[in-house]
Structure 1
Amino acid sequence: MLTTGLILILASLGLAQGLFLSFYVFSLKNGNREKHFFLGLFIFGLTIRIGKSVLNYYVPLENWQNNIGISGILIASPALWLYGISLFEKNKTITPKTYLHFLPFILFLVLIPFVPRDGNFESFWNYGIVVFHLFFYLIVSWNYLYKNKLKVSKNLFSWYRKILIGTTLIWVHYIGNLLDFTYYYIRGPIFYSLLIYAFSYLFLHQHRLQMQKYSSSQLDKKDSKTLYRQIKALFESEKVYLDDKVNLNMIAEKLNVKSREISQAINENTEQNFYDFVNQYRIEKAETLLKDSSYKNEKIATIAYESGFGNVTSFNLAFKKKTGVTPSVYKKH
């Protein structure tokens, strides 16, 4: 059995790693900023929660200190779900209403001095609500993951699933805390510490590979964003995606840059490859045509060709990947 000192060292190192990883993710500027924000917020909230448990195991905390730790879950829960959305739907706009999901955290923070922490039924009820809060967002997140399984790459699906599995296992340990099982109470932080090291390795390894991919490029972050805006402007003004022969060289020639720089700008700012980026515009065009009453009697092949696809098969595959249904089913609804 682990000694008290070793438990403290393992848990403390895990907490330090969690804080480092959360602030590192917050600092990332390339790609989808909202994705980085919600991932950082999730890790930070979970780290606060686990930190409370570690401290409380060794040093008796006052009520308000305990409650600050508990409030971390009210940050982590919605951040977990919103991270999935920003990960899978890169072009989805996060509206101000989205942040209403963090309202329970704000209310809990305001009421911190009044929330009981004495082990009676009222305390059990209040902390039971916090347990249910994470349970609810875990269910919503798992449902969202499998609902979008066919729309995202295997790598993205696998990455988000690993995060959900880890979070679910952590919360199983903390159910023991709610039931006053001391063994589970301290076992959770240890498990979390190991898990956060695994997350850190996977995330940092993936990010390092991304940086190495364009390490020899002379295109810096600022120029990458500028070029990306030029690419978008070209696509929207000239509708080059309607040409089924469009490729990197054609776009590079129009913008007088290297084809590798076109690929880099798209990848760094959207985390998509060139053809996924092109197909995104084509599918949006196809959705418009499928909803158009004047195209009601047109064949799916006609929609495919007018949207820029070279054949019906690639159209069906790309359309289902993005929407989850085939063009025929989409048209009926």
Structure 2
Amino acid sequence: MSWLHTASSFLAISQLVFLACLYSVYFPRRLISRLIVLFSICITAYILVRSDVDWPQAVRLLLTILATLAPAVLWVIARYLFEDQRRVHPGVAAMIIFYMVIRTIGLLSYGGSVPRDSTFLYLLYFYIPQWIMLFLACHVVYMACRGREGDLVESRRQVRVPFAIGMGTIVGVIIGSGFFQFGGPQLDTLYFIVIFGLILFVNLAMFRLQNDAPQLIQTAVEQPRIAASTLPTGTVSRHDQQLIDRVLTAMRQERLYAEPGLTIGDLAAKVSLQEYRLRRLINQAMHFRNFNQFLNQYRIEEAARRLRDPEEEHIPISSIALDVGYVSLSSFNKAFKETHGVTPSVWRIQTDAQHFASGGQGE
């Protein structure tokens, strides 16, 4: 069985090397490419540390630390690929730093083994970091699947499920093997075969999208801000312009954006257009990356106007939020602040102050 163990490890590493080289060659000096290379190194380190090689203690510790880093690196990759708002919450950043520091201290203190002499130290150095790693892996799958329905970048939309299945399962294997401390040549061989198959699955999926890969990488790199008053720009065909006018009429005159839970499928049915054509139209002709971003343009535009209107200053902000299509005040506050840089309440106060100042000057 030793030959199968060695062969499976080499096969898995070969796919990881291919993945790293693919992004390094075709997308040099891109942050997302460097992250994918780092992730490949982390998974390779996991394979090497579980191989039959009798590594020096220092090398084994380094490989173990790199393997532990894999869930955090994968989480950052998923954030850059699938989230248009890439700012990392301070709490998540602190959690990642905490688990890496604690896990590293535990490995250095106990020479890479699990502390057994103290329940507290076992929980601190091993069990808690494992749960954080599991949370990050689950959140990767959540991020990849959550926005698929409203994603207007077709290359990114197609890669979400393969990414979630492949990468998430790989990290799950790493966490599971550490969590339950399952080992041995037979199980390690199975881990390596699973990693090989999943990375091959991801590579094949990316190869199928090779013509659209630059768009996917560009989406992950550039995040231009779209103003609330954005109109279609660029050269479009006469037929596309007619379709755009049909969509804009439905949104502005019929206020479809005010319908809570409106999906792109609902809008496609309203304007009598195939869903895939509507996705492509909004993305390529109107320059939106996801459907929520498209809806927020109209919702925030109306909300801002009504918050400026002195005749509506008696209407609660929550009522305005619900009236323009939001299902909760928190989601409205978040979207409004992302667009205008301040919360709706601050926006209304600032507007009232401007009205008062202009009225005072006129007297």
Q: Which TM-score band (shorter chain)? A: 0.5 to 0.7
Q: Name the amino acid aligned to 2:74.
A: L
Counterpart of 1:314?
A: none
- The equivalent position to 2:201 in structure 1, one of 183, 190, 198, is 198
Describe the shift of the 1:106–1:288 C-alpha distance in structure 2 as closer, same or farther (beyond 3 A). Answer: farther
2:249 counterpart of 1:249? no
Query: Cα RMSD (Å) of the superposition?
Result: 4.6
Describe the shift of the 1:160–1:197 C-alpha distance in structure 2 as closer, same or farther (beyond 3 A). Answer: closer
User: Would the aligned equivalents of 1:86 and 1:92 in 2 still touch at CA under 8 Å?
Assistant: yes
Greater mean deviation of Cα atoms: 166-175 or 5-14: 166-175
Counterpart of 2:47?
A: 50
1:126-275 aligned within 5 A: 126-152=125-151, 154-167=157-170, 170-171=173-174, 174-175=177-178, 178-207=181-210, 209-210=211-212, 241-242=230-231, 248-249=235-236, 273-275=284-286
Using the TM superposition, give the Cα deviation of residue 164 of structure 1 relative to its aligned residue in structure 2, in angstroms. Answer: 4.5
Segments of 5+ residues of structure 1 without an aligned counterpart are 214-223, 251-271, 299-324
Using the TM superposition, give the Cα deviation of residue 127 of structure 1 relative to its aligned residue in structure 2, in angstroms. Answer: 4.5
Q: Name the amino acid aligned to 2:170.
A: T
2:326 counterpart of 1:329? yes
Counterpart of 2:61?
A: 67
Describe the shift of the 1:139–1:170 C-alpha distance in structure 2 as closer, same or farther (beyond 3 A). Answer: same
Using the TM superposition, give the Cα deviation of residue 15 of structure 1 relative to its aligned residue in structure 2, in angstroms. Answer: 0.9
- State the percentage of identical aligned residues: 10
Q: TM-score, normalised on structure 2?
A: 0.55
Higher share of residues assigned helix: 1
User: Would the aligned equivalents of 2:19 and 2:40 in 1 still touch at CA under 8 Å?
Assistant: yes
Q: TM-score, normalised on structure 1?
A: 0.59
Describe the shift of the 1:79–1:296 C-alpha distance in structure 2 as closer, same or farther (beyond 3 A). Answer: farther
Describe the superposition over 1:234-286 as per-residue Cα deviations: whole angstroms up to 9, x where unpaired. x87xx6x336xx56338xxxxxxxxxxxxxxxxxxxxx533343875774464
2:34 counterpart of 1:16? no
Give the length in aligned residue pairs.
Answer: 261
Describe the shift of the 1:211–1:60 C-alpha distance in structure 2 as closer, same or farther (beyond 3 A). Answer: closer
Instruction: Give the secondary-structure state (helix, strand or coil) at the position aligned to 1:121.
Output: coil
Instruction: Give the greater-gyration-radius structure (CA).
Output: 2
Describe the superposition over 1:167-213 as per-residue Cα deviations: whole angstroms up to 9, x where unpaired. 25523762587144553233212321222222222223322x23799
User: Would the aligned equivalents of 2:102 and 2:129 in 1 still touch at CA under 8 Å?
Assistant: no
User: Would the aligned equivalents of 2:148 and 2:160 in 1 still touch at CA under 8 Å?
Assistant: yes
Describe the shift of the 1:143–1:162 C-alpha distance in structure 2 as closer, same or farther (beyond 3 A). Answer: closer
- The equivalent position to 2:308 in structure 1, one of 294, 298, 307, is 294
